[in-house]
């Protein structure tokens, strides 16, 4: 087993200036199912792909409500997300009790960022292995932030985290101007589901069981839709499967057919066939 001498704790830098435990935490986020966030002028939408460990188990909750005006979507270790969401809830409750006003989204995000960064500079703790999309609406408008276990926080117009999230980010980049101009919450949700659909594996489809949708914004408290409540938006999609995977599958079929035809054509030349087989083995390796 590979052994790294610089990953025994989160406060030891490698000679190249890296903190390996922080990088491991970032890798844990990439192993989680995808979550996508979109923000318009007055609303924020979170959509997430739920995952079940086995057929006999329930689906993991992916979106957590913090307050009436704020919520989070997670990718990575769910227990770590529960700890951070409970901390945010305490902060929101304290703000209401002491200042008699809701906790601002930026202050909430920077508070958990400080909490996460402490784990990268003290012994006896590890970085949180979870990434969060924090959606909120306050007196300054609608906001969407991405939290990372390194303590880094950035505000986005659209963001995606989790497995195969690069495909969702590509969709958001291509349709950014359209998303920014959207006034309808329904259209914003459809864009989010289209981006989430691009992250699907080849044998997975968006269903009412594995999809969660949340909305928060002007005159709308943070509301999460699961199960049958999600079907109304899935019906608005042209397809619930990843068209990118389906098209690549067609290309694979064409390549396979071409390979069979080539094998048939060279069946009378044993030496050529053996050479081609060796070339294929080298390519696979």
179 plus 110 within the same structural domain: yes
Q: Tell me the two tokens of residue 183.
A: 């006034």
Q: What SS3 class is residue 283?
A: helix
Whole-angstrom distance, CA of residue 84 vs CA of residue 80: 6
On whether residue 11 sits in a domain, the answer given is no
Number of domains in the chain: 2
269 plus 181 within the same structural domain: no
263 plus 250 within the same structural domain: yes
On whether residue 203 sits in a domain, the answer given is yes
Percentage above 70 pLDDT, the chain: 84
Q: What are phi and psi of 181, to 5 degrees?
A: -90, -5
183 plus 236 within the same structural domain: yes
What's the pLDDT tens digit per position in 195-241?
999 999 888 899 999 999 999 999 899 999 998 999 999 999 988 88
What's the pLDDT tens digit per position in 151-171?
999 999 999 999 999 999 999
Whole-angstrom distance, CA of residue 163 vs CA of residue 14: 27
What's the pLDDT tens digit per position in 27-44?
999 999 999 999 998 999
CATH number of the structural domain spanning residue 32: 3.60.20.10
> What string of DSSP letters covers 5-44?
TT-SSTTPPPTTS--HHHHHHHHHHHHSPPEEEEE-SSEE
Q: Which residue has the higher pLDDT, 284 or 256?
A: 256
Confidence grade of residue 244 (pLDDT, cut at 50, 70, 90): low
255 plus 232 within the same structural domain: no
236 plus 130 within the same structural domain: yes
Residue 133 · residue 159 · CB < 8 Å? yes
150 plus 272 within the same structural domain: no
Residue 156 · residue 39 · CB < 8 Å? yes
Domain that holds residue 194: 20-241
Q: What is the pTM of this model?
A: 0.82
150 plus 213 within the same structural domain: yes
Percentage above 90 pLDDT, the chain: 65
pLDDT recorded at residue 253: 44
Strand order across the beta sheet in which 141-147 lies = 63-67, 70-76, 130-138, 141-147, 153-155
On whether residue 224 sits in a domain, the answer given is yes
159 plus 254 within the same structural domain: no
208 plus 256 within the same structural domain: no
Q: Tell me the two tokens of residue 15.
A: 């000679």
Whole-angstrom distance, CA of residue 202 vs CA of residue 45: 25
Do β-strands 220-225 and 211-217 pair in parallel, antiparallel, or remain unpaired?
antiparallel
178 plus 230 within the same structural domain: yes
What's the pLDDT tens digit per position in 101-132?
999 999 999 999 999 999 988 888 899 999 99
pLDDT recorded at residue 202: 84
């Amino acid at each position: 087993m590979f052994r790294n001498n610089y990953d025994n704790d989160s406060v030891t830098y490698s000679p190249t200036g890296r903190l390996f435990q922080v990088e491991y935490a970032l890798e844990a986020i990439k192993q989680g199912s995808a979550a996508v966030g979109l923000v318009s002028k007055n609303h924020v939408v979170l959509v997430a792909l739920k995952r079940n460990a086995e057929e006999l188990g329930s689906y993991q909750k992916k979106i957590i409500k913090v307050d009436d005006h704020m919520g989070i979507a997670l990718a990575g270790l769910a227990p770590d997300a529960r700890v951070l969401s409970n901390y945010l809830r305490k902060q929101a409750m304290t703000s209401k009790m002491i200042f008699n006003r809701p906790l601002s989204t930026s202050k909430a995000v920077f508070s958990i960022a400080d909490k996460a960064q402490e784990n990268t500079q003290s012994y006896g703790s590890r970085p949180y292995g979870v990434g969060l999309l924090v959606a909120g609406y306050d007196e300054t408008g609608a906001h969407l932030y991405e939290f990372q276990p390194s303590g880094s926080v950035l505000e986005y117009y659209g963001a995606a985290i989790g497995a195969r999230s690069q495909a969702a980010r590509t969709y958001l980049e291509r349709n950014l101007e359209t998303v920014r101009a959207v006034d309808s919450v329904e259209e914003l949700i459809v864009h989010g589901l289209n981006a989430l659909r691009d992250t699907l594996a080849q044998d997975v489809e968006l269903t009412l069981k594995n999809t969660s949708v949340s909305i928060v914004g002007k005159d709308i408290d943070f509301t999460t839709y699961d199960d049958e409540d999600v079907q109304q938006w899935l019906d608005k999609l042209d397809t619930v499967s990843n068209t990118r995977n389906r098209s690549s599958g067609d290309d694979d079929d064409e390549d396979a057919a071409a390979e069979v035809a080539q094998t048939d054509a060279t069946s009378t030349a044993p030496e050529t066939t053996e050479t081609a087989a060796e070339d294929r083995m080298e390519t696979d390796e």
